[in-house]
Amino acid sequence: MPVVYKKQDGTITIHTRNTSYQMKIGPLGLLLHTYYGPTINTDAGCSLVYRDRGFSPNPYDAGIDRTISADTLPLEYSCEAAGDYRAPALSINRKDGFMTGDMRYEGHQVVSGKYSLPGMPAVYADEAEAETLIVTLKEKNTGLKAVLKYGVLPELDVITRTAEIINGTSETVIISQAASAAVDIMTSADWDLIHFSGRHAGERTPYRTEIAQRETVISSRRGISSHHQNPFVILAEKETNEQYGQCIGMNLLWSGSFAANVSKDSYGSVHAVMGIQPDRFDYPLEPGESFIAPEIALTFSNEGLGRLSRNYHKLIAEHVCRGPWKNRRRPVLINNWEATEMNFTGEKIISIAKKAGELGVEMLVLDDGWFGKRDDDFAGLGDWYVNTNKLGCTMGELAEEVRKMGMKFGFWIEPEMVNEDSDLYREHPDWAFAAPDIDPIRDRYQLVLDFSREEVVDHVLDQICEVIDDCKADYIKMDMNRPLFDIYSRTAEYQSRGRLMYKYVLGVYRFMEKLLERYPDLLLEGCSGGGGRFDAGMLYYCPQIWCSDNTDAIDRVRIQYGTSFAYPIRTMGAHVSACPNYDTKRYVPIDTRAVVAMEGTFGYELDLNRLSEKEMKQVTAQIETFKKYWNILHCGLYYRLTDVMENRQEAAWMMVSEDGSEALLNIVTLDVTGNKPNRFIRCAGLDPDASYRDDETGMVYSGNLLMSTGLLMPMRAVEGHNLVTTPPEYDAFQIHFTKI
């Protein structure tokens, strides 16, 4: 059974295939976290240390026993009011400002199946695939409760967590922190924190730092998960690498502001708390109301970072992403943005589509500039009606012409935003987040619509649905190009920043849910200036997200590398773009661009009419290669073979079918030197006792040799000569192995 309760020692243990997670009902009803790691069948409470620690307070009902302190014991859901000076999971104040919320164990139950969350993303599973543990904590002196829910997916080694805070008192309380989970590690081993930081056009760079006696906070205050930090962190033992060592992942299914607070306390224990960003999170909870924290997915690996990533890949691909597109090959698309920006006509779009169709592209996507008076960033957002003067036709007529070429059709939207120069803003200025007496902060010359209000969401949705109905769109790219700042709603008497930002994110989720309910076959791609909202919460609605606005293949190698630690390949929007590159001005061979883009959904972001005849033939061949290998590319087990942040020579990654019958090795050279030493690429995930044939050369290798010694870095013949040479800078190789 996944959940085992032993009354004699007060332990509640969650078992998955390879791991155990244990909590213990401690003295005075304090619920203590005792273990998360490889499978155990004993009480891990022997690791608990009860000592009289100076300057660590004791509960009043402990009497003269000074060994009991929430400040030094690992609380399963740490509460500030219990006397815990570490980063709390829960912090609540009464209206008079006095802290409350000393939570004690009241009871628990186990139900079959996986819980869901109203209006929020959550991992889903069939009843036979999961169990739910529900633990109720009750405030010692009042009617406040915290209901902790644990979703257990044993076969995936995943445990999800959420918390519902219920105000059973007769007065309003203010929540200032209600995290999704806290995790404590009681060990003398040294642990590191791995987080994924960056910027617009440079997202999700992995950073690894020692967990020391200081608080390290990884967070976004921007109202979105952000380009700058990602709501995913890893706690890893010091020596953990791709294949060896212990690590714990914490992946938050939330698309708004978040925070992860990680520290080591004075006695050597690691303490990690993750959930909604607590800064200025004043959330008033009226009597009888409840607050639900977003879900967090935890996984433990005893086989390094690679195993942890593959746990998340399977979880997200099969139990977060939904709808008919989650397991289907995505159509190879062409997007017009880098070819035209907003300077296009219907005739120009048809020209791009015609050439794309001839070369094998399967869908055209019309990007920003098709609506309202939208010829630049300064106007039009909010007016979701087709600019027929610009297109020279209706959207339906344009889509019909594209479909005559054998392609699907889609278009770009940014529903959460409004320009002041728009009909919508002139009619409803009160629908934007802005105080009536203060000039708002602009970003990209746009304001944010108040999506905490249902009437605003419904108005925008109805407008966009009219366009979808006209053109029968197959695909929507949903963008969001500025963070939140002026959080002020004209409908709220009390301007609670925390409540409004929480309700705003729920409004975004509601928009997407209603869109997909109305168009169940629609392929919805998420975007926020590229990767500014690349999180598991968005993937519940969008099976793919535009990975970054930076389409430079060499930069993308590193961006996609960092993204792969938490998110599966099939979720990364990736395109072959023109060279010199739109952002970096770097030139990379078109076949290398394709190899990198196949580590994603695969498509094109350029005017194919401008390619040479040779390049056009290469595009046709690339599309055929993608179709041929899409199953292993998107459904195979993913292995990072090189650390591209440290190894500046080459990047290598591979996909292996679950049965080990085939593998696809991908290599991109990043730098070249004269008289280069021999370099070998060690493969992973193969059957060590089997032989594998390189389908192009016919060479046969043992699986064990490919994984221990590795494959000698390939050499390429110089055009016009019989010689072979060191691969040029930015060259790429794609090697398909078949098990024989």
Q: What is the CATH number of the domain that holds 72?
A: 2.70.98.60
Question: What is the pLDDT averaged over residues 260-286?
Answer: 95
Are 226 and 254 in contact by the 8 Å Cβ rule? The answer is no
Non-local CB neighbours of 331 within 8 Å, separated by 6+ positions:
362, 363, 408, 474, 475, 523
The mean of the pLDDT values for the chain is 96
pLDDT reported for residue 674: 78
Same domain, 622 and 694: no
The answer as to whether 645 is a domain residue is no
Tens of pLDDT, residue by residue over 184-224, are 999 888 999 999 999 999 999 999 999 999 999 999 999 99
Q: Is the distance from CB of 280 to CB of 273 less than 8 angstroms?
A: no
pLDDT digit string, tens, across residues 615-664? 999 999 999 999 999 999 999 999 999 999 998 899 999 999 999 999 99
- Asked if residues 208 and 224 have their Cβ atoms less than 8 Å apart, the reply is no
Side chain identity at 734, as an amino acid letter? Q
Average pLDDT over residues 558-584: 97
Say whether pLDDT at 2 is over 70: yes
Catalytic residues: 535, 615
Give the DSSP letter of residue 733.
E
- Is residue 121 included in any domain, yes or no? yes
Does the pLDDT value for residue 325 go beyond 60? Answer: yes
The predicted model gives 276-283 an average pLDDT of 93
Q: What pLDDT is recorded for position 627?
A: 98
Clarify whether residues 432 and 510 are in a common domain: yes
CA distance between the termini of the chain: 39
Candidates 73, 654, 3, 544; CA nearest to 310 is: 654
421 and 350, same structural domain? yes
**Do 428 and 573 share a domain, yes or no?**
yes
Residues 290 and 146 in one domain: yes
Instruction: Quote the pLDDT of residue 344.
Output: 97
Which of the listed residues 255, 290, 319 is the one where a domain comes to its end? 319
Residue 451's pLDDT band (cuts 50, 70, 90): very high
**Is 448 inside a domain boundary?**
yes
Taking the C-alpha atoms of residue 687 and residue 51, their distance in angstroms, rounded to an integer, is 51
| Residue ending a domain, choose from 319, 353, 373 | 319
Global model pTM greater than 0.75: yes
Please indicate, yes or no, whether residues 116 and 197 belong to a single structural domain of this protein.
Answer: yes
The domain in which residue 517 lies consists of 333-632
Q: In this structure, are 299 and 366 located in the same domain? A: no
Q: Assign 494 a pLDDT band (cuts: 50, 70, 90).
A: confident
- 718 pLDDT band, cuts 50/70/90, is low
Give the pLDDT of residue 683.
Answer: 98
Give residue 725's pLDDT band: very low, low, confident or very high (50, 70, 90). Answer: low
Looking at the domain assignment, is residue 328 inside a domain?
no
* CA–CA separation, 292 and 118 (whole Å): 9
* Domain presence at residue 639: no
Extract the runs of DSSP E, i.e. beta strands, from 215-373: 216-220, 232-237, 247-252, 258-264, 270-276, 283-285, 290-292, 296-301, 333-335, 363-366
Cα–Cα dist 337/412, whole Å: 10
Strand partners, 370: none
Same domain, yes or no: 711 and 589 = no
Q: Which of 638, 723, 730, 643 is nearest to 681 (CA)?
A: 643
* 147 and 108 fall within a common domain: yes
Q: What is the mean pLDDT of residues 468-496?
A: 95
Tokens 């869109």: give the residue. Answer: 515
Q: Are residues 314 and 439 in the same domain?
A: no
| Domain count along the chain | 3
Nearest CA to 418 out of 481, 351, 349, 469 is that of 481
In a domain, 15, yes or no: yes
Whole-number pLDDT of residue 584: 96
> Residue range 599-607: average pLDDT?
97
Q: pLDDT above 70 covers what percent of the chain?
A: 99
Final residue of a domain: which of 268, 286, 319? 319
| Cα–Cα distance for residue pair 337/409, rounded to 1 Å | 15
Q: Residue 732 is part of a domain; what is its CATH number?
A: 2.60.40.1180
Is 295 in the same domain as 226? yes
Pair (482, 523) in one structural domain? yes
Say if residue 463's pLDDT is above 60.
yes
Question: What pLDDT shows up at residue 672?
Answer: 82
At 46-93, the pLDDT tens digits run 999 999 999 999 999 999 999 999 999 999 999 999 999 999 999 999
Q: In whole angstroms, give the CA distance from residue 261 to residue 480.
A: 27
677 pLDDT band (50/70/90 cuts)?
confident
CATH of the domain at 528: 3.20.20.70
DSSP 19-85: EEEEEEE-GGG-EEEEEEEE---S-GGGG------TT----GGGTT-TT--TTTS-BTT-BGGGT--
Question: According to the model, what pLDDT value does residue 656 have?
Answer: 98
Residue 324 in any domain: the answer is no
What is the tens place of the pLDDT at every residue in 136-181?
Answer: 999 998 999 999 999 999 999 999 999 999 999 999 999 999 999 9
Confidence band, pLDDT 50/70/90 cuts, at residue 274: very high
Percentage, residues of the chain above pLDDT 90 = 95
pLDDT score for 724: 54
Give a yes or no: residue 619 inside a domain.
yes
